[in-house]
Structure 1
Amino acid sequence: MTENLELYDVTILGGGPAGMYTAFYSGIRELKTKVIDAQYQLGGTLLYYLDKMVWDVGGIPPITGKQLTEHLIQQVNTFEPTIVLGQEIDDLERRDDGTFVLTSTAGDRHWTRTIIMAIGFGGLRKSVKIEIDGAERYENTNLYYSVHNLEDFRGKRVLISGGGDSAVDWANELEPIAASVTLVHRRDQFKGLERSVSNMKASSVSIRTPYRVEGFHSEDGVSIQQVNICHAESGESEQLHVDAVIVCHGVTYEYGRIREWGLGIGKWNLDVTDKMETAIPGIFAVGDFVHYGSKVMLIAGAFNDAVLALNSAKLYIEPNAEKMARISSENTRFNELNRQLGVVDDDE
């Protein structure tokens, strides 16, 4: 059935930072590239943090998740890869000639020589809902599980439930613009980055620990006006007046039928070699999806994974190829693009 399919050198599953940079680097290495993502827009996890400031990408000053996503999309389009959105891949077939056919849940098929998996913690991401009866009725008004626009909270009394990175980061982001920010956490210790926690404690954020959110109260049945919190040790409770509630209790991820491919996926991620190789020859993996001895869980680390995986894919396809691409100032493809931009190297 593959006779009517177009064969690609590299097919990348996932359109987050790791997947997009892999596709960009694949263009540098002159490989025919396709990106497939289950979401309907590129960005991956960054789409959940569009207003969050990102500080730790080398050479880039503090930038919002939205801006970083826009830059990555512009970069990935440099070599015009084929981009397919809204398709969840669940089936893998290896043909006799060593190529792969990937099939989506809707039946769409994709033919490729190699696969690079950049699926994070799974294609299906769901926020962990707060366990309060009837809470779902407020999800269309002032109960949030993610923040897409900081301006929605300007001048409001905001309560955040949670103690991880997301809870701490949103407390810091909202503190300058909200009327007040209260963070409620069932433990005295936080799981956020140390500097972020220190910044929060030094700010006007009201930190209530060890407390848990126990109930919501509404006068109109549509939105939350008061939140009941309970001390985790004494059981003492009190009510806080609020305009918005943000729940940051984590997310759940699912890999679906990808677990059946024989990759050996663990509970959260996949062990790979230092060349980003998986247990299946021709399939490589990058980003949050993978684990290896010196793995760096930062966007910068995902970019490094991308380069390693793509170089491995290149050598898998062309064993006599160069082990890596030249630096941009020596790369003929970039010289061509520079001329299109009207920039000419003095050495030319």
Structure 2
Amino acid sequence: MIVKDINIIGGGPAGLYAAFYAGMRDLNVRIIETQKTLGGKVHFYPEKLIWDVGGIPGIRGAKFIDQMIEQGLTFNPEVITNQKISKFKQTDGGLFVATSESGEQYLSKRIIVATGGGIFNPKKLPLQYNVKFEETNLHHHIYHLKDFKNKNVVIVGGGNSAIDWANDLIGVAKEVHLIHRNDTFKAHEYNARKLKESSVKIHTHTLVKELVPNSAGTSVQSIRVRNSQSDQDYFLELDELLVNIGFDNELNFHHDPSLKFKLKDDYYIEGSSIAQTSVKGVYAIGDILEFEGKVRLIAGAYNDAANAVNQIKLSLDPDAEEKARVSSHNNRFDKKNQEKKD
């Protein structure tokens, strides 16, 4: 079993930047990600513009994911996807072993926990329907607005995401309907007002009662809805159905009870501003980490990552410099800089 300097549990913004920065410090790492792709929760808003990352004005989530991954893999870390770490513990020899639900084990000298706020699974309609619909025209996210161009779209939901998508589809889709179970929207006031002043057809006090398949049974052709005030049913024809009624949060930070972590709200790891936890050899970064003055932005996660890696480097090599040399003076970039020039 190959022993890495660091096992990074989580392949979102924090974990990817930690892998990059560890490469700058000549540490070998392994990224272990629960989902099938890297990028973390940014996958939930691939078409949204992200404005609060330093030096990157207005970048769409999908492009940001690509750039994060490119940067995170700069120094060729080992990447393991589709593996949920069910627990990790420390061995008698001082190493850490991370074990996945499938029984795979990964050894490392140090651990960085970068699991964010948990695994967010979209809630599904409480109906019986063919799961193949989710492979055709029943969606829980929008990845590309252009896929909905000139189509009749029905959105189910009344929160920020549902209303954002409805507003974003104005002028893209041929027609947009919004189905909501009451008449109060849990969204930012500006976005709710924009929605009500738009061409979106809003159906309040309305519940989806049935998904009607097409003749082949492979996609949704229409939905049967019921107005809870009038108790009347009616049908809406559609090309695309977007269900955005919330998420179930599955906690994804598990460890051996012998590791005495300080936790907040039974989940978030209480640590320091330099990413140290109450367990020696284990560091936490990004949304999973809690400390006074914590900044819950992607930029804050990057700072956590650099701090964690620097602490790990010093713990493994006390004679090392306290911090990585900046990229303009770091010889690890010599070859890559030449490649860029060529």
**TM above 0.5:** yes
SS of corresponding position for 1:270:
strand
Distance 2:293 2:138 in 1: 39
Distance 1:281 1:145 in 2: 40
1:158 pairs with one of 153, 161, 164: 153
The residue that corresponds to 2:166 in the other structure is: 171
Q: Measure how far apart 1:14 and its partner are.
A: 1.1
SS of corresponding position for 2:254:
helix
Q: Answer whether contact 1:214 1:230 (CA < 8 A) is retained.
A: no
**Residues 132-147 of structure 1: pairs in structure 2 closer than 5 A:** 132-134=127-129, 138-147=133-142
Distance 1:326 1:189 in 2: 53
User: CA 1:310–1:164 in 2, change beyond 3 Å: closer, same or farther?
Assistant: farther
Q: Measure how far apart 1:168 and its partner are.
A: 2.6
Q: Is residue 216 of structure 1 aligned with residue 227 of structure 2?
A: no
RMSD: 3.1
Distance 1:66 1:245 in 2: 21
Q: Answer whether contact 2:47 2:145 (CA < 8 A) is retained.
A: yes
Q: Measure how far apart 1:39 and its partner are.
A: 2.4
SS of corresponding position for 2:162:
helix
Q: Answer whether contact 1:180 1:205 (CA < 8 A) is retained.
A: yes
The residue that corresponds to 1:346 in the other structure is: none
The residue that corresponds to 2:279 in the other structure is: 280
Distance 1:30 1:192 in 2: 45
SS of corresponding position for 1:258:
coil
Distance 1:195 1:312 in 2: 44
The residue that corresponds to 2:39 in the other structure is: 43
Amino acid at match of 1:75: Q
**Residues 292-307 of structure 1: pairs in structure 2 closer than 5 A:** 292-307=291-306
Q: Is residue 76 of structure 1 aligned with residue 92 of structure 2?
A: no
Work out the number of aligned pairs and report it.
Answer: 335
TM-score by length of 1: 0.82
SS of corresponding position for 1:341:
helix
User: CA 1:196–1:309 in 2, change beyond 3 Å: closer, same or farther?
Assistant: farther
Relative to structure 2, which stretch is displaced further, 23-32 or 321-330? 321-330
Query: How much identity, in percent, do the aligned residues show?
Result: 36
Amino acid at match of 2:164: D
SS of corresponding position for 2:71:
helix
The residue that corresponds to 1:228 in the other structure is: 225
Unmatched segments (≥5 aa) in structure 1: 344-348
Q: How big is each residue's C-alpha offset from its partner over 1:83-137, in whole Å with a ceiling of 9 and x where there is no partner?
A: 12222222323123322122222332222111111122335x4221122354857
**Residues 321-332 of structure 1: pairs in structure 2 closer than 5 A:** 321-332=320-331
Q: Answer whether contact 1:117 1:283 (CA < 8 A) is retained.
A: yes
Q: Answer whether contact 1:52 1:170 (CA < 8 A) is retained.
A: no
Distance 1:165 1:36 in 2: 31
Q: Measure how far apart 1:75 and its partner are.
A: 0.8
The residue that corresponds to 2:251 in the other structure is: 255
Q: How big is each residue's C-alpha offset from its partner over 1:6-63, in whole Å with a ceiling of 9 and x where there is no partner?
A: 2221111111122111111111122111111122322222334334443333322333
